Amino acid sequence: MQDREQSVQFFCKEPFRIFFPVGLILGIAGVSLWLLYYAGLVAAYPATAHARLMIEGFMASFIIGFLGTAGPRITSTRHFSRVELIALLTLDLLSAGLHFGGSSCAGDVLFVFCLAFFLFVIGKRFVRRNDSPPPNFALVALGLLNGLAGALLLALFENEAYSRQYRIGAALLGQGFVLLPILGVAPFLLVHLLNLPRADLPESRKLPPGWILQAAFAAAIGLIVDATFVAEAFDVGAVASWLRLGAVVVYLLVRMPHRGRTFLGDSLRAGIVSVVVGIAVETLWPQCRIGALHIIFISGFSFIVLTVAIRVIFGHSGNAHLFQKRLPFFIIVAVLLFFAMLSRYVADLAPKARTVHLVAAAIAWLIAALIWMVRVIPKVAIPDSNE
């Protein structure tokens, strides 16, 4: 009984230890749908289920795991309770299960409840904080609201896929929900990855000087990005895409550290560059929008979350010494993800070979995920000996 209680506390204190493996499994399930479909094992075309599993399953699990671990530490508040952890995990898995079974509306509704509860849990800790989060985390909060609003719009307008409301919901969930938290966390994390000097302010509930101004700048960037999603639904996509690209580039130039190099730091930068490239491709060649979104997702979002997850898992398992080293297995993962992205992009340009490219992209992503799983996931069970 005591061992079981200790195990529960182990996961409550550091939720990434359960949400990262779950997220990877859900991502593998989402990509495997394409192989199952082309093998004739599932009848329904998996585009919607695949997209939902990758965002509401794969990405959401990594976001919850990261923020659920970092949030209480940054705000110097209590870690997750058993009820909070079990509720979030249950809603996450039920939502993903419904999507895998093709019930997208029900899956979206459960994801709304999951994200709303997570916002409540994190918001409660911000209100009770003994220390303040970085101002760029205003983008994290806005990203979570994007996910909530996007999933709600998709659930409400499921039968109106070409309506403005549905298109706005798809953009808020499929892009804003992940893009904004990445922009918010990246400067904070990159400082740690590069071992750059940090401003160690005394622990204080009171917001430090300049915090509100910096948070307002980050929030303004996020709101501009959100406004471009709305504008695209009203058929002013050309202007909106350029505005989104400009807002993201300005934010990165102002907020991201530009000196120092480490392997994981360079990996994070490469993922962010891929996101910018994807947005640029969508802007310059709107007819290739689906391919551009896969540049953003595969070699951008996917690679970034796997990079961040390595930092978190290694740092909390007594393997922090590996941060400064080149990781050969992760180079292989990066190459496979790049190949998956390229193959998926080409699929829309070569209709006669579309199936081949879709299958090749899925296989490359799955191999990358399995290699990452074998080399990284076992460490989630190792406690940090320094704590």
Q: What is the pLDDT of residues 13-47, one digit of tens each?
A: 999 999 999 999 999 999 999 999 999 998 889 99
53 falls within a domain: yes
Confirm whether 213 is domain-assigned.
Answer: no
Residue 2 has pLDDT above 60, yes or no: no
Beta-carbon contacts of 336 under 8 Å, excluding residues fewer than 6 positions away, are 364, 365, 367, 368, 371
pLDDT in tens, 287-334: 999 999 999 999 999 999 999 999 999 988 887 777 778 999 999 999
Residue 166: inside a domain, yes or no? no
CA–CA separation, 351 vs 346, rounded Å?
Answer: 9
pLDDT at 201: 52
191 lies in a domain?
Answer: no
Q: What is the pLDDT of residue 257?
A: 86
For range 353-366, the mean pLDDT: 96
Cα 187 → chain centroid: 15
Q: What's the chain's Rg over C-alpha atoms?
A: 20
Residue 113: is its pLDDT beyond 70? yes
Q: Is residue 272 part of a domain?
A: no
State the SS3 of the chain. Answer: CHHHHHHHHHHHHCCHHHHHHHHHHHHHHHHHHHHHHHCCCCCCCCHHHHHHHHHHHHHHHHHHHHHHHHHHHHHCCCCCCHHHHHHHHHHHHHHHHHHHCCCHHHHHHHHHHHHHHHHHHHHHHHHCCCCCCCHHHHHHHHHHHHHHHHHHHHHHCCCCCCCHHHHHHHHHHHHHHHHHHHHHHHHHHHHHHCCCCCCCCCCCCCCCCCHHHHHHHHHHHHHHHHHHHHHHHCCCHHHHHHHHHHHHHHHHHHHCCCCCCCHHHHHHHHHHHHHHHHHHHHHHCHHHHHHHHHHHHHHHHHHHHHHHHHHHHHHCCCCHHHHHCCCHHHHHHHHHHHHHHHHHHHHCCCHHHHHHHHHHHHHHHHHHHHHHHHHHHHHHHCCCCCC
- Shortest CA distance to 151 belongs to which of 124, 171, 181? 171
Average pLDDT, the chain: 91
The model's pLDDT over 115-166, given as tens digits with 9 standing for 90+, comes to: 999 999 999 998 888 888 899 999 999 999 999 999 999 999 988 878 999 9
pLDDT tens readout for residues 48-97? 999 999 999 999 999 999 999 999 999 889 999 999 999 999 999 999 99
Average pLDDT in the 279-285 region?
A: 94
Is the residue at 84 inside a domain?
A: yes
Q: Tell whether the model's pLDDT for residue 8 goes beyond 90.
A: no
Residue 235 falls in which region: left (phi positive, over 0), alpha (psi -120 to 50) or beta: left
Residue written as tokens 């990005």? 225
Q: What is the pLDDT of residue 321?
A: 76
The fraction of the chain above a pLDDT of 70, given in percent, is 95
pLDDT at 204: 65
70 in a domain, yes or no? yes
Q: Does residue 387 have a pLDDT over 60?
A: no
b/e code 16-33 from CB counts within 10 Å (16+ = b): bbbbbbbbbbbbbbbbbb
Total domain count for the chain? 1
The answer to the question of residue 108 being in a domain is yes
Q: Tell me, what's the pLDDT at 280?
A: 96
Domain that residue 10 falls in: 1-128
